[in-house]
Amino acid sequence: MAINLLQKINFPNLSIKQRLVLQLGIVTILIAFSLFFLIKNITNQVMTTTQDRLLTASLNSIIDKFYTSNKDISLDLPYDTFSLLGAISEDKLFYKIDYNDKFLTGYQKFPMVLKYGNLRKPIFYNLIFENEKIRVAAIKHSIYVNGKKNLLFIQIGQTLNFQSSISSQITNNLLLIILIFMVLSIILVLLATRIALQPITLLANDLNKRKPNDLTLVKNNVPIELAPLILSLNSFVKKFRGVLRTTETFVAEAAHHIRTPLAIVKSESEIAFLKSKTKSNRAHLRNIIRSIDETNRYTTQLLDNAMVLYRLEKLEKENFSITKSLVHLINVFKPAAELKDINFSTTFNFKSKFIVTDKLLFETAIRNLIDNSIKYAPIETNINLDYKFFNNVHEIKINNQINKKLNTSKSTLFKRFYRGQNSKNIVGSGLGLSLVNEIILGLNGQFKILKYKEKEFCISVQFFC
């Protein structure tokens, strides 16, 4: 009944752990108080039964001390029994003996009872006499004198002071034991709750450690109770991966299909530009060609973004030399840099240091960073590219000058399609840094912007072994 009641109780705004602790705590308190009243009741019954047996023994002693003669009876009260009872419990004794409904001896004012038992089964009851609570045993006994049946009505009572004292001590001891039991139980409840919820905590920690682009299925070993949750979670991941792949495929195909007509439009515009003789037409055609170049760059970036998202799901790791890869990328961009009289200055601590990661994504990220450096660096300046390896960390730094200080935050620079004040008249889409950040995070790396408020822009890319 208590368990059903707990199940019906609603605990709003409480976590599973708090609900378990509260429910188990209530159960523990109920058990503790049930044990308290049960033990106290049993103890009182035992003491009452013990006292009843002593009173019964006293009744037997009194009956044994009755003697009959030809015409009368005599009684030798068992004072030794009374003294023994008083010594054991230090309680007062009261008795009253009537012979054929006439007072014989004892306390004459002692209340009479309506029902009497016999020696085998006395009647026991409690009453208040002289402002004290008394446990009384009463019997009716037959005695024959000269062949005539006579009735003895015997009542013997004892105060309950000793029993009350023992009951009070037992109660105090029980309360102390119950308190210790409750404290230990609460500690055990907390430990049991923590152990019971540990699989959920471990699952939550594993999911929190996942990268934003990690859509692999959950394969944690969990209890049977969590199996439906894992199945539902994996089902959702599969559906989400399907939707994401459909979107990526659509973006890639759309970008690919856009590039072909753009190339045709650009070719036709360039031919029209060469044939045009008026300045206004040539200006319009020049704007069209520039817009086509920008659009073409957007589509290229969208293709790269779709490729990166797809590739991050299934990394194709390989062992390659970082220095050789960096030299190759510098050679690729040298012609573009020479058009602005920009020189590359490199510092490699190691001639050939290898790393195990996805080479295509690695080179895509570095290519975007070098391309940005060339676009935003002033004419006749240097681009410094440094590589060093320390404490199992590969670090690549790219440093270049810029025309103006950047009055913006670092987080803003990572936003998609964001272009700062220095990007005027520079072809770009605003996807470069955001794409690089996704790649570096996907490869368990770290991407930092070290300098950007002065007329200098410095970035750091770190890969951990």
Binned average pLDDT, 10 residues per bin, the chain of 465 residues: 52 74 84 87 88 86 80 75 67 85 85 85 88 89 81 87 84 88 86 85 82 75 83 86 76 72 81 81 81 76 72 79 89 86 83 81 88 84 88 87 68 64 60 80 84 77 85
pLDDT for position 50: 86
Determine the Cα–Cα distance for residues 394 and 443; give it in Å rounded to an integer: 12
3-state secondary structure at position 363 = helix
pLDDT for position 15: 76
Q: Phi/psi of residue 25, each to 5°?
A: -65, -40
pLDDT for position 88: 61
- Pull the structure tokens for residue 180: 């210790």
3-state secondary structure at position 350 = coil
pLDDT for position 446: 87
| Closest C-alpha to 299, from 267, 261, 254, 266 | 254
Determine the Cα–Cα distance for residues 299 and 296; give it in Å rounded to an integer: 5
Q: Where are the domains of the chain?
A: 1-209, 213-314, 315-465
Long-range contacts of 22-30 (CB under 8 A, 24+ apart): 24/189, 24/192, 24/193, 25/186, 25/189, 27/2, 27/3, 28/182, 28/185, 28/186, 28/189, 29/182, 30/2
Contact 261, 299 (CB under 8 A): no
Opening angle at CA 146, ends 143 and 150, nearest 5: 30
Which CA distances in Å does 306 have to 89, 252, 439?
94, 6, 12
Q: Phi/psi of residue 146, each to 5°?
A: 55, 40
pLDDT for position 12: 60
Determine the Cα–Cα distance for residues 17 and 23; give it in Å rounded to an integer: 10
Name the helix (H) or strand (E) containing 155. strand 148-159
User: From the CA atom positions of the chain, what is the Rg in Å?
Assistant: 50
Name the helix (H) or strand (E) containing 396. strand 393-401
| Residue tagged 């919820």 (tokens) | 197
pLDDT for position 159: 85
pLDDT for position 315: 76
Q: Would you say domain 315-465 falls under CATH 3.30.565.10? A: yes
Determine the Cα–Cα distance for residues 329 and 81; give it in Å rounded to an integer: 114
Classify residue 78 as left (phi > 0), alpha (psi -120 to 50) or beta. Answer: beta
Long-range contacts of 181-189 (CB under 8 A, 24+ apart): 181/32, 181/35, 182/28, 182/29, 182/32, 185/28, 185/31, 185/32, 186/25, 186/28, 189/20, 189/21, 189/24, 189/25, 189/28
Q: Would you say domain 213-314 falls under CATH 1.10.443? A: no
Determine the Cα–Cα distance for residues 95 and 136; give it in Å rounded to an integer: 9
Termini Cα distance of the chain:
59
Query: What is the 8-class DSSP label of residue 404?
Result: S
pLDDT for position 452: 67
